């Protein structure tokens, strides 16, 4: 309980910031309703696609982006992430890093493509700025972390930047890249936090690089799973994380977003500075003193195993994931175009 007891203000901090962010989101919904007169996303997209974006709808879009920026932990709305990730039990942190982020990005994609798909010139520059800031800040600050939990927290901010970058093209290929990367990030984070829970007592012990020394000799399967997780988060070839980043890069270059593309590549290289030391410590250092690895429940161990296997298998044979992502993205854009046509003269 040391992590949470040392900072009793963390729950209050998260509550207050979350309340403000939810208020921005609700005001965005209210302003969009005021501009369109409907709560249907398709009908709202049809109304907003008839002409220039009204001022009220523009303000609503801005408030939407602020609210979703907090939900996905994008810079500069990320200040809650490291403390909450570190203070929460590891299984809860794993859920926040996977389920919450997936739901938030799915909702953000629908808002942008279905409701505001006719006005990409308004939100693409803002989204580009958020993506670049998140990739730079998340990766640079993660380099200085010794705690694995805080490192993964800042890593999640960087990955939020990658996912925001996938939305910048505003195309079906970009939306498909978003879905592919969400799948890769969710599976990998699920495995990483599951293994982190096994490395700490009840999920509360502060796990650092020193904790991992000699892990390969003590628990080779845990070390292998951790290595697969770090490589996929890095975007190493042969993992689903690489396929996701490659799809994002192709979508960005297809729409000539060169600045965001360069930042994505450079920050991915920077991330090797904190992912690779985890693997090197696990396999190349010997343990100093007693450092235990606590047994995982059978269900948790099976889930981690399946996640790691899927990440590797889809890394070498990504066709099923890519086809499913393209089909889902096509249906999303079909709904958007249907709404615009319905609102036409």
Q: Which two tokens stand for residue 106?
A: 């799915």
Confidence (pLDDT) at 340? 41
CB within 8 Å of 183: residues ≥ 6 apart: 240, 244, 314, 321, 325
- Structure-token match 């996640």, residue found: 307
Helix (H, G, I), strand (E, B) or coil at 208: strand
CB within 8 Å of 53: residues ≥ 6 apart: 61, 116, 119, 122
Tell me how far CA of residue 16 lies from CA of 13, 23, 79, 345, in angstroms. Answer: 5, 11, 12, 45
Neighbouring CB atoms inside 10 A of 12's CB total: 9
Task: Identify whether the C-beta of residue 71 lies closer than 8 Å to the C-beta of residue 32.
Answer: no
- pLDDT means over runs of 10, the chain (345 residues): 48 76 90 89 85 88 91 86 80 83 89 86 92 94 87 92 92 89 92 83 65 82 91 92 94 92 94 92 74 67 90 92 86 57 40
Backbone angles phi, psi at 12, to 5 degrees: -65, -40
Task: Identify whether the C-beta of residue 218 lies closer than 8 Å to the C-beta of residue 111.
Answer: no
Confidence (pLDDT) at 342? 42
Confidence (pLDDT) at 2? 42
Domain layout of the chain by residue ranges: 2-342
Q: Which two tokens stand for residue 179?
A: 């879905």
Confidence (pLDDT) at 119? 83
This prediction has a pTM of 0.88
Confidence (pLDDT) at 90? 80
Helix (H, G, I), strand (E, B) or coil at 6: coil
């Amino acid at each position: 309980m040391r992590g949470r007891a040392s900072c009793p203000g963390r729950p209050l901090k998260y509550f207050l910031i979350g309340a403000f962010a939810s208020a921005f989101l609700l005001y965005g919904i209210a302003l969009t309703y005021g501009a369109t007169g409907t709560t249907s996303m398709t009908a709202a997209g049809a109304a907003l696609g008839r002409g220039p974006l009204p001022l009220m709808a523009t303000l609503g879009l801005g408030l939407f982006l602020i609210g979703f920026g907090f939900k996905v932990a994008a810079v500069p709305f990320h200040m809650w992430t490291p403390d909450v990730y570190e203070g929460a039990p590891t299984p809860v942190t794993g859920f926040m890093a996977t389920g919450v982020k997936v739901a938030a990005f799915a909702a953000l994609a629908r808002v942008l493509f279905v409701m505001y798909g006719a006005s990409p010139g308004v939100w693409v520059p803002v989204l580009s700025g958020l993506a670049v800031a998140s990739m730079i800040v998340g990766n640079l600050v993660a380099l200085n972390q010794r705690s694995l939990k805080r490192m993964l927290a800042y890593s999640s901010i960087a990955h939020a930047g990658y996912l925001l970058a996938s939305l910048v093209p505003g195309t079906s290929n970009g939306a498909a890249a978003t879905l592919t990367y969400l799948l890769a990030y969710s599976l990998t984070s699920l495995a990483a936090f599951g293994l982190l829970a096994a490395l700490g007592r009840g999920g509360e012990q502060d796990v650092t690089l020193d904790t991992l020394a000699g892990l390969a000799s003590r628990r080779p399967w845990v070390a292998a799973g951790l290595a697969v997780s770090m490589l996929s988060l890095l975007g190493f070839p042969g993992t689903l994380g690489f396929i996701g980043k490659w799809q994002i890069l192709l979508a960005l270059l297809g729409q000539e977003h060169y600045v965001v593309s360069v930042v994505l590549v450079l920050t991915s290289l920077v991330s090797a500075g904190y992912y690779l030391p985890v693997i090197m410590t696990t396999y190349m250092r010997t343990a100093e003193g007693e450092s235990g690895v606590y047994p995982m429940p059978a269900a948790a161990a099976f889930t981690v195993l399946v996640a790691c296997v899927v990440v590797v298998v889809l890394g070498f044979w990504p066709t099923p994931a890519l086809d499913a992502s393209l089909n889902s993205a096509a249906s999303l854009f079909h709904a958007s175009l249907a709404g615009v046509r319905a609102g036409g003269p």
